């Protein structure tokens, strides 16, 4: 029996999501969803299901007759970043930076604003953003008693929203490539894919107002839902750090730690990664015999390889700077070991998340959800419908990129069948909904890496971020409802802005200034 593209395809993600919320244990919850999925794929035949399970597990490392380079590059980068963080701790540079920052940033508000600033500036890639900014910000937020849950929220809600708004990012390049195909298929030649992407920025209400709420939350300590408990514990001295993130700090720093010992390796990491993105993209274009342009390079860049290149070079720079403090071989070896071990939990969760993502993809859960887009609904509600449906799909599948691939062409077809003028608003609604669903999903790899970057318990991050994401989604839904009814992007944006302003005004009233 074929359970793909049916209501049964919703079972694995629903089981995984429910178990994660109830038990607050990610790996067993994902395992339940994976087992349910392979049983459905096997049609109830245990032998076939076992074979599919083996294919899914082995496919995480070996796929299409070769190594699964994307997965392995991401794992390698996590290990490199763990080792780099550990070396910076050993050198005393992390402590030196924290002391320097606290001498100038003396309030929790300053720590939050610093994190948001770094998150907004570093928009090359969401993985890189969450992990790199988290490594820099953790010592400051810990010292100034900001919870790891709040840090994870600041990281997650600046990473994906910034990446989805910026054309010069891994997300931007992917989206531009997809939009280009949609425009060609509908014979739209009066606007380029890049121009279309830029024009959609103010229409992406969720991303715009998610960043707005992050900035507001950084200025005022607005704590919603479970975040209240996390922040209260942080004020009492318990920031909520998880055991894995603490490993790299369990070593005595060397004497004479210096601020530059942190800034130079991190700056090297950023610079080398950017160079890697440009070089790998340019080589791919040239090897294909195509014309080399900046946009073509970004569309063809190898993000995983670029992250590894940046990580290796940054680690080498950190080691060379550390050698001036004359560490022993034992200290170096232990630091490398602790750093790599600190990423063990994140890597395990990622592997399970990738596995359930593959199972859900084969069950065509996203395609089943997309089938609910009907022609009978009034066109004025289509922006809201696309936003909600993309959110449900990204939440259920744990991937915004996968949702882009399925929903953007559908949105394009709907615009072509109704009103081509609404093409870009429909596409923007899909982008917004995808990021919203991704933010709420405990099986999303970007959510997992944000909790990793913050050193926060993953389920705590999901629980504490959810109220903020839902609040911005409500604001966005109002904007899309007005946009669909009026046909005016300006009217939709102003309506969403008005609701957002009222919400912020209500939230910040009576908030103690911190």
B/e letters for 390-409, b = 16+ CB within 10 Å, e = fewer, are bbbbbbbbbbbbbbbebbbb
- Dump pLDDT digits (tens) for 412-467: 877 887 778 888 999 999 999 999 999 988 888 888 889 988 889 888 999 999 99
Sign for the pseudo-dihedral over CA of 237, 240, 243, 246: negative
Cβ count near 18 (within 10 Å): 13
pLDDT at position 464, please? 94
Query: Using one digit for the tens of pLDDT, what is the confidence trace for 454-486?
Result: 889 888 999 999 999 999 999 999 999 999 999
| Rounded average pLDDT over 209-236 | 91
Of 478, 411, 475, 407, residue with least CA distance to 438? 407
- Mean pLDDT across the stretch 17-21? 77
Cβ atoms of 469 and 439 closer than 8 Å = yes
Q: How far apart are CA 148 and CA 460, in angstroms?
A: 9
Looking at residue 246, its pLDDT comes to 43
Q: What is the dihedral of CA 411, 413, 416, 417, to 10 degrees?
A: -110
Please tell me the predicted confidence (pLDDT) of residue 248.
46
Worst-scoring range by mean pLDDT, 120-124, 156-160, 421-425, 464-468? 120-124
With contact defined as beta carbons under 8 Å apart, do 506 and 218 qualify? no
- Specify the higher pLDDT residue, 383 or 6: 383
Q: What does DSSP assign to residue 248?
A: G
Distance CA 448, CA 460 (A): 11
**Rg for the chain, CA atoms, rounded:** 23
**Local structure of 66: helix, strand or coil:** strand
pLDDT, residue 372, reads 67
Classify burial at 155, counting beta carbons within 10 Å of its beta carbon; exposed 0-12, middle 13-18, buried 19 or more. buried
Q: Are 221 and 511 in contact (CB under 8 A)?
A: yes
- In the chain, what is the straight-line distance between the N-terminal and C-terminal CA atoms, in Å? 59
DSSP state of 62: E
DSSP state of 456: B
Q: Rounded to 5 degrees, what angle do the CA atoms 489, 492, 498 make?
A: 140
| φ, ψ dihedrals at 222, nearest 5° | -85, 110
pLDDT of residue 66: 82
* Span of 12-26, 265-279, 459-473 with lowest mean pLDDT: 12-26
Question: In the prediction, which pLDDT does 368 show?
Answer: 77
Quick one: CA dihedral 36, 41, 46, 51, positive or negative?
A: negative
Helical spans, DSSP H, in 124-235: 126-143, 148-165, 170-185, 193-200, 205-219, 227-235
Phi–psi pair at 412, nearest 5 degrees:
-65, -40
pLDDT tens digits, 48-72: 999 999 998 998 888 777 888 878 8
The three-class DSSP label of residue 171 is helix
pLDDT at 285: 87
Average pLDDT (143-172) is 87
Percentage above 90 pLDDT, the chain: 27
User: Which residues, other chains included, contact 289 with Cβ-Cβ below 8 Å and sequence gap of 6+?
Assistant: none
421 vs 167, which has greater pLDDT? 421
Phi, psi of 241 (to 5 degrees): -65, 145
Residue 256 banded pLDDT, cuts 50, 70, 90:
confident
Work out the percent of the chain whose per-residue pLDDT is above 70: 93
| Number of Cβ atoms within 10 Å of the Cβ of 374 | 7
DSSP string, 229-274: HHHHHHHTT---B-HHHHGGG-SPPPSS--THHHHHHHHHHHHHHH
Q: Please give the Cα distance from 93 to 91 (Å, whole number).
A: 5
Position 250 scores a pLDDT of: 58
Give every CB contact of residue 189 below 8 A, 6+ residues apart in sequence: 183
Q: How many angstroms separate the CA atoms of 76 and 9, rounded?
A: 32
Average of pLDDT values for 393-420?
81
Q: In what helix (H) or strand (E) does residue 112 lie, and over which residues does it extend? A: helix 108-121
pLDDT of 512: 53
Stated pTM of the model: 0.77
| pLDDT value for 247 | 43
For residue 325, give the 3-state DSSP assignment.
coil
Over the stretch 175-194, which tens digit does the pLDDT of each residue have?
A: 877 787 788 777 887 777 77
Residue 94 has pLDDT above 80, yes or no: no
Mean pLDDT of the chain: 84
pLDDT band for 514, please (50, 70, 90 cuts).
very low
Give the pLDDT of residue 170: 67
d(Cα 104, Cα 368) in Å, to the nearest integer?
Answer: 53
Model pLDDT, residue 24: 67
List all residues 6 or more positions away from 190 whose beta carbon is below 8 Å from its beta carbon. Answer: none
Residue 116: predicted pLDDT: 92
CB burial string 435-470: b at 16+ within 10 A, e below: bbbbbbbbbbbbbbbbbbbbbbbbbbbbbbbbbbbe
d(CA 248, CA 87): 8
Greatest mean pLDDT among 102-111, 141-150, 204-213, 274-283 = 204-213
* Confidence at residue 377, expressed as pLDDT on a 0 to 100 scale: 57
CB 391 within 8 A of CB 366: no
Question: Which tens digits make up the pLDDT trace of 238-252?
Answer: 776 664 444 445 567
Q: Is the pLDDT of residue 168 over 70?
A: no
């Amino acid at each position: 029996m074929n359970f793909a593209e049916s209501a049964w395809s919703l079972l694995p993600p629903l089981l995984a999501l429910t178990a994660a919320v109830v038990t607050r244990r990610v790996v067993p919850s994902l395992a339940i969803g994976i087992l349910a999925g392979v049983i459905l794929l096997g049609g109830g035949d245990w032998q076939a299901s076992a074979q599919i399970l083996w294919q899914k597990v082995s496919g995480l490392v070996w796929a299409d007759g070769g190594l699964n380079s994307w997965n392995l590059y991401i794992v390698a980068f996590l290990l490199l970043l763990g080792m780099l963080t550990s070396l910076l701790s050993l050198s005393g540079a992390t402590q030196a930076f924290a002391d320097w920052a606290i001498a100038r940033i003396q309030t929790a508000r300053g720590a939050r604003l610093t994190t948001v600033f770094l998150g907004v500036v570093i928009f090359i890639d969401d993985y890189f953003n969450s992990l790199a900014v988290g490594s820099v910000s953790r010592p400051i937020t810990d010292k100034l008693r900001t919870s790891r849950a709040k840090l994870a929220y600041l990281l997650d809600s600046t990473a994906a929203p910034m990446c989805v708004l910026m054309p010069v990012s891994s997300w931007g390049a992917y989206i531009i490539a997809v939009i280009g195909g949609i425009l060609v298929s509908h014979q739209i030649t009066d606007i380029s894919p890049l121009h279309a992407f830029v024009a959609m920025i103010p229409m992406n209400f969720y991303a715009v107002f998610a960043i707005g709420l992050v900035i507001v939350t950084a200025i005022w300590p607005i704590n919603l839902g479970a975040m209240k408990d996390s922040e209260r514990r942080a004020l009492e001295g318990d920031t909520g750090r998880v055991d894995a993130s603490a490993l790299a700090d369990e070593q005595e720093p060397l004497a004479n730690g210096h601020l530059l010992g942190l800034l130079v390796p991190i700056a090297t990491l950023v610079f080398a990664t950017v160079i890697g993105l440009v070089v790998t993209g340019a080589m791919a274009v040239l090897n294909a015999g195509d014309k080399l342009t900046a946009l073509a390079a970004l569309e063809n860049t190898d993000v995983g390889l670029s992250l590894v290149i940046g990580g290796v070079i940054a680690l080498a720079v950190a080691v060379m700077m550390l050698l001036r403090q004359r560490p022993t071989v034992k200290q170096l070896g232990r630091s490398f070991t602790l750093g790599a071990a600190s990423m063990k939990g994140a890597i395990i969760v990622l592997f399970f998340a990738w596995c359930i993502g593959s199972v859900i993809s084969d069950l065509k859960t996203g395609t089943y959800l997309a089938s609910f887009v009907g022609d009978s609904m009034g066109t004025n509600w289509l922006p809201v419908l696309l936003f909600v449906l993309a959110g449900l799909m990204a939440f259920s599948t744990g991937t915004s990129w996968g949702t882009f691939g399925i929903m953007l062409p559908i949105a394009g077809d709907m615009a072509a069948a109704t009103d081509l003028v609404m093409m870009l608003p429909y596409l923007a609604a899909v982008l917004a909904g995808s990021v919203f669903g991704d933010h709420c999903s405990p099986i999303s790899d970007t959510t997992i890496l944000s909790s990793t970057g913050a050193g926060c318990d993953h389920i705590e991050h999901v629980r504490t971020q959810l109220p903020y994401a839902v609040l911005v989604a409500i604001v966005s839904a109002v904007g899309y409802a007005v946009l669909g009814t009026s046909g005016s992007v300006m009217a939709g944006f102003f309506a969403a802005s008005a609701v957002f302003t009222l919400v912020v005004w209500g939230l910040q009233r009576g908030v103690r200034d911190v």
